Structure 1
Amino acid sequence: MARTRSHLKDLTEYAAVRTAVTLMHCFDVRSNLATAAGVGSLFCRLHSRHYRRAIEHIADAFPDWSHKQCERVAMRSIENMFRIFMVDSMVMPRLITRSTWPQYLRVGNLKDAMDHFIRDEPAVFITGHCGNWELLGYALAVLDYPLYALARPIDNPLLNDWLLGVREARGMRIITKWGAIPVLQKVLRTKGRAGFIADQDAGEQGLFVPFFGRLASSYKAIGLLALRYNVPVMGGFARRIGDRFEYELSTLDVIRPEDWADQPDPLFYITARYTHAIEKAIRQAPDQYLWAYRRWKSRPRHERTGRPMPSRLIAKLESLPWLTPQDVATIVDRSNQAARQQIR
């Protein structure tokens, strides 16, 4: 009986989503984007917990901003999320094709990445929950540079299968998280491209690197794959232009094997640098980042146990060339403050 109720629930959700998408096709894209933003604004009022969390994260990342600025960016951030899922993801297969993509996509500083793609060499490609992370891999596939992207399957199998078809319509291949590493290893061995959304909390076993002045848990797999197969890590960004379905594609950073060859801890260096690249993208368009996500949820062991930051971790921070001594001091001080709060 439980299985029947579960199936009925899945079927009901699927029918509701498909009906909503069909209705939205009756209107132009600009109107649908405005509607999606309105739904996002309503969501902020009905689910204020997510809205408040977004405001807190923004205020923490931009301490010089006023509360009004933080509120405005938090609202815009959630509106952007609804635009992506309600509109952008649905119209991509229709609007972004090999003949029509120049109408909607601007090519920014993609030279380094494109040179690599043209040579048909393997790489690990990363982006964050900023701009339109769904569009980035899709656009590369349309440009005839498909990649294998890691993604968590949706719990509803009917919705999952349908959205999988949408995502893979132009050649991108989606790999579910469960058991994905062997597949990605094969992709890189055969000179393919592996894609990650790389700003998700990796839990207490992740690698803690700087992100907006605080330590954040990041996945080791990206750096480990780059090290094992000696391939570059490329950061990309699809930034929305205005409130339209129009984007600029750009390269955030290209981390090459020679860049980490002389580093004291190559894995830490790669992970910290790609995380820094994502931070740079967010600073370009802070209202397009998913601030409601709990990016700093997991904490390093020394904070959880109420101890000061270990000297070896401080040394690793000091080895990162983009951090100033003041940056390092701020990260250490904030981490030690968090540790002291654990023992009160």
Structure 2
Amino acid sequence: MREAAPDSSSIAADMALQLGVRANQGPSELSVRAAARPSFPVAGADRASAATIAIVKVRRRWLDYLTCLSVRMLTAVLHCFPVDANLRTARWLGRMWYRFPRWLPLIGPALARHGRRAEEHIRLAMPELPEAEVRRIACESMQSLAMLAIEVLFTPRLISLWSWRRYVSLDGLAEPLRIMLGREGCIMLTAHYGNWEVLGFTLATLGADIVAVMRPLDNEYLNDFLMAQREPSGLRLLYKKGATRSMSDVLDDRQALCFIADQNAGSKGLFVPFFGRPASTYRSIGLLAIRHRVPIIVGCARRVGNRFRYEVVVNRIIRPADWEHREDELTWITSEFTRAIEEFVRAAPEQYLWIHRRWKSQPRPPRANAAPASTAEPNAEWQGTPADG
């Protein structure tokens, strides 16, 4: 006769016996030791994870290299055509960028959101404008950004000590130029407005000792390429990370330290009005000016028409004598240069980078029974430094 197939209960009993577990008894010594054994990562899994990370890094470096190579090849092609022709193409691309349809898969939502963000920021800053004007400013703002990309590539080729007058107007800048060229030491501020690259490049070409604070690009190949574009003018660049001591050395040497001052400084920044809304602003600018007693020059390079032409405008010089008797020097200085930036943005709002999230951080609501914050800065915490980008 055929033996009956073992049922599931007998199989389970046999497995329990092999593991040292008896019916109605506690676990055996073997099972207790097995349960108490700690679970450590498997060495093989760690090696596989490290190998995966290494592969990702190599792939990222190759992607960065190919991106930089593509930009260099595109630059060579663009230089075969006049700069104004390239700027017309850039304006067309900027208009297409603004009008990009959201319904296109993958890239549609990613590109279309910039136009919506620009419109939202313009409405917040200037609620009195009609909707048609809001859309016009948003579209031209994105065109201005596309033109800036072309201008950065052509600036070292076109602006030199012998040719800058054809492209840049410096009328009415006798006092700021005297400060910068006379090595009196100053802080120069601009914003994401017009062409901030042309501003520093031109002044450095004329002999001003300018050190610009910047955040390096994540793509180191592209970062090195763009850094090389700025070197012919003599403009020196300082990476913002860990730059506190270097910035002080620049001002001690009576040079010009340049910032893009409309960066969002996060929750630890100093909140001052910008277009009537609180905007987080870096404290380091005011603290440096107070500590080194140097003037702050606020200006911009405004584009003239749709060609490679600019006028450099300085609409505010804040001197140590202006703040030394103020009750809260730091807040007053920060409010003053922010107000000066707002003035030239209002003069030509279409040249401002409205996709920039200037109001991203907002003040936290005051807590009940919280002690008032002291306005003193005993150890001068820098709270970071603004940079371009």
The normalised TM-score by structure 1 is 0.87
Whole-angstrom CA distance in 1 between matches of 2:233 and 2:373: 46
SS of equivalent to 2:232:
coil
SS of equivalent to 1:77:
helix
Whole-angstrom CA distance in 1 between matches of 2:171 and 2:122: 27
What does residue 256 of structure 1 align with? 319
Aligned AA (1:30): D
What does residue 89 of structure 2 align with? 35
Whole-angstrom CA distance in 2 between matches of 1:174 and 1:273: 26
Larger radius of gyration: 2
Shift in Å at residue 106 of structure 1?
0.9
Shift in Å at residue 138 of structure 1?
0.6
What does residue 17 of structure 2 align with? none
**Aligned pairs (5 A) from 1:277-316:** 277-302=340-365
Q: Is 1:166 the equivalent of 2:220?
A: no
What does residue 276 of structure 2 align with? 213
C-alpha distance after superposition, 1:96-140 (max 9, x if no partner)? 000000000111331221121243200011000111111111110
**Aligned pairs (5 A) from 1:33-72:** 33-44=87-98, 45=100, 46=108, 47-72=111-136
Equivalent position to 2:142, from 70, 75, 78: 78
* Residues 181 and 207, structure 2, Cα contact 8 Å, conserved in 1: no
Aligned AA (1:4): V
Whole-angstrom CA distance in 2 between matches of 1:169 and 1:298: 37
C-alpha distance after superposition, 1:249-271 (max 9, x if no partner)? 11121000000011110000111
Computed over aligned residues only, the root mean square deviation of the Cα atoms, in angstroms, reads 1.8
Shift in Å at residue 72 of structure 1?
0.6
Aligned AA (2:112): S
The normalised TM-score by structure 2 is 0.77
What does residue 149 of structure 1 align with? 212
Whole-angstrom CA distance in 2 between matches of 1:133 and 1:282: 13
**Aligned pairs (5 A) from 1:2-41:** 2-41=56-95
Unpaired runs of 5+ residues, structure 2, are 1-54, 101-107, 375-389
* Residues 173 and 314, structure 2, Cα contact 8 Å, conserved in 1: yes
SS of equivalent to 1:6:
helix
C-alpha distance after superposition, 1:41-79 (max 9, x if no partner)? 222214121111111111221122111100010010011
Whole-angstrom CA distance in 2 between matches of 1:52 and 1:118: 43
Whole-angstrom CA distance in 1 between matches of 2:176 and 2:234: 19
* Residues 168 and 174, structure 1, Cα contact 8 Å, conserved in 2: no
Whole-angstrom CA distance in 1 between matches of 2:347 and 2:129: 15
**Percent of aligned positions with the same letter in both sequences?**
41
* Residues 112 and 254, structure 1, Cα contact 8 Å, conserved in 2: no
SS of equivalent to 1:92:
helix
Q: Number of matched residues? A: 309
**Aligned pairs (5 A) from 1:67-146:** 67-85=131-149, 87-146=150-209
> Which one has a larger percent helix, Structure 1 or Structure 2?
1
* Residues 137 and 146, structure 1, Cα contact 8 Å, conserved in 2: no
Aligned AA (2:91): A
Unpaired runs of 5+ residues, structure 1, are 314-344
What does residue 300 of structure 2 align with? 237
What does residue 47 of structure 2 align with? none
Aligned AA (2:72): R
Shift in Å at residue 312 of structure 1?
9.2
Could you say if the C-alpha distance between residues 118 and 155 of structure 1 is closer, same or farther in structure 2, counting changes exceeding 3 Å? Answer: closer
Aligned AA (2:221): L
After TM superposition, the runs of 4+ consecutive aligned structure 1 residues lying more than 2 A away are 310-313
Whole-angstrom CA distance in 2 between matches of 1:161 and 1:147: 19
Whole-angstrom CA distance in 1 between matches of 2:158 and 2:240: 28
Could you say if the C-alpha distance between residues 9 and 213 of structure 1 is closer, same or farther in structure 2, counting changes exceeding 3 Å? Answer: same
* Residues 183 and 209, structure 2, Cα contact 8 Å, conserved in 1: no
SS of equivalent to 1:168:
helix
SS of equivalent to 1:301:
coil
Shift in Å at residue 18 of structure 1?
0.9
* Residues 125 and 196, structure 1, Cα contact 8 Å, conserved in 2: yes
